[in-house]
Amino acid sequence: MGQLCSSDVEELNVASTMDTYFQNFNMINKIISEETLNLITSKLITGDTGSLGVIIDGVLKKVTNASLNIAVTGECGSGKSSFINALRGLKPGDEQSADIGVVETTMEPTTYQHPKFPTVIFWDLPGIGTTNFPPEEYLKKVKFGEYDFFIIISSTCFKDTDVQLAKAIKDMGKHFYFVRSKIDIDLQSEQKHKPKTFDQGKFLEQIRNKCLQGFRQSEMETPQIFLISSDEVFEYDTPILMKTILSDLSTKKRHIFMLSLPNITDEVIESKRDSLKQKVWLEAFKNALWATLPLGITSNYDKKKVENSLSEYRALFGVDDASLQKLATYSKVPVEQLKSIIESPHLLEKKKNESASKIFFKWVEKFCLANGGLLAMGFYFRNTLFLQLYMLDKVASDAKILLKKTFSEKGWISPQVKTS
């Protein structure tokens, strides 16, 4: 890889730009550790760039290939399968969806891969209340060491066995989250029986307090209880749960978990975009280092790769053709209507009457790429980065538009959804 001298790096202000760029991201969205960021910037400042490509490539591989194993436990009928389907963006009857209402007859965990991210795996574990094992033995039976964190689900109240299980998980140094499911059903029932005095906020607080009673009687610190509905995944505490899990995950695992989440709020969509913006910066800079060599990058700078990037972004944000067709079926809206309100499907179509200055700029760019050197690095880095960020912003904007469309068609505008 070609060496850049200190004056070249200073001219580009890459170190300062990189530090500023990455510091602007929220901590729970960062995909690169402070230690690694400091290492890269220090090498840029000193001009020691020979190993930068290897370092950045290592970061990208860790982020891209990270695996995540999520254990979901609870008694049969608690809503485990519905929850797993919801986080995988699936509904009952969809291909690869988890079966709902199946009676547990075995201690063997059942695995469900995310349809778009095969390294994200949900493990459906039998509830500890359905076994005769003490917590420590239960965890050993279900292969405790394979999971990154545990989600303990109940559709009523958490039992003493659930509390003891959480204690054992904590003692073994892993995170757990208590999820109270089927909140929508409880709300509907309460409103039906008390139409005049029904107060949603007070009723939800009653459910939360009832769930905490078992913990107050134990010596365990009172945990946070997340109230959710797998059928209305946009509502209640699901966004808070996702944010809490992200804050607990290691830096290298945040990216894959963030991308795997369904677009439940504008904030989730923005976090996905921010996570990808960091990856795009690292990839653009790594490739720009190779561009300092004559003909080092020209073969990678082509229309096909740009088209592939756009297709990948559309799939990640659920605005690709397959996702649009699925949303159209679910929302009972013609797919052509959905396509008419977003931009990304036609983003790369050629615009007529390009100005002479643009044509000249492209020619200069092509010349620099063919001949290498610092100017080539500057052109490649800036143009690759700007183009990728432009596509990302457009696709993320489309995802927000479709999210708002989903709410408006169903007649329930969520306070979580903002107009962009």
CB atoms within 10 A of CB 145: 9
* Residues in a beta bridge with 175: 149
Encoded amino acid at 322, one letter = A
- Does residue 7 have a pLDDT over 50? no
Please tell me the distance from the alpha carbon of residue 237 to that of residue 239, in angstroms, as a whole number.
Answer: 6
Q: Helix (H) and strand (E) counts for the chain?
A: 17, 6
Please tell me the distance from the alpha carbon of residue 96 to that of residue 112, in angstroms, as a whole number.
Answer: 8
**What pLDDT is recorded for position 71?**
96
**What pLDDT is recorded for position 274?**
93
**What pLDDT is recorded for position 415?**
39
**What pLDDT is recorded for position 239?**
92
User: DSSP string covering 354-372, please?
Assistant: --HHHHHHHHHHHHHHHH-
CA distances (Å), 131 to each of 30, 76, 103, 142, 161, in order? 40, 12, 13, 12, 10
Lowest mean pLDDT among 59-68, 188-197, 215-224, 226-235: 215-224
Axis crossing angle, helix 266-290 with helix 251-260, rounded to the nearest 10: 120
pLDDT digits (tens, 9 = 90+) for 268-294: 999 999 999 999 989 888 877 766 555
- Does residue 363 have a pLDDT over 70? no
| H or E element that contains 225 | strand 225-227
CATH class of the structural domain 68-260: alpha beta
Strands across the sheet with 175-180, in order?
110-113, 120-126, 68-74, 149-154, 175-180, 225-227
350 pLDDT band, cuts 50/70/90, is low
2 pLDDT band, cuts 50/70/90, is very low
Axis crossing angle, helix 183-193 with helix 200-216, rounded to the nearest 10: 120
Closest listed residue to residue 41, CA positions, set 75, 72, 10, 76 = 10
Give the largest Cα separation in the chain, rounded.
78
370 pLDDT band, cuts 50/70/90, is low
With beta carbons less than 8 A apart as the criterion, state whether 55 and 40 touch. yes
Closest listed residue to residue 241, CA positions, set 214, 256, 255, 223 = 223
SS3 328: helix
CA distances (Å), 134 to each of 73, 131, 146, 416, in order? 15, 9, 19, 41
Please tell me the distance from the alpha carbon of residue 420 to that of residue 417, in angstroms, as a whole number.
Answer: 9
> Averaged over 44-66, what is the pLDDT?
86
Q: Across the chain, what does the average pLDDT equal? A: 82
- Does residue 70 have a pLDDT over 60? yes
With beta carbons less than 8 A apart as the criterion, state whether 393 and 273 touch. yes
Query: Start-end ranges of CATH 3.40.50.300 in the chain?
Result: 68-260
**What pLDDT is recorded for position 11?**
39
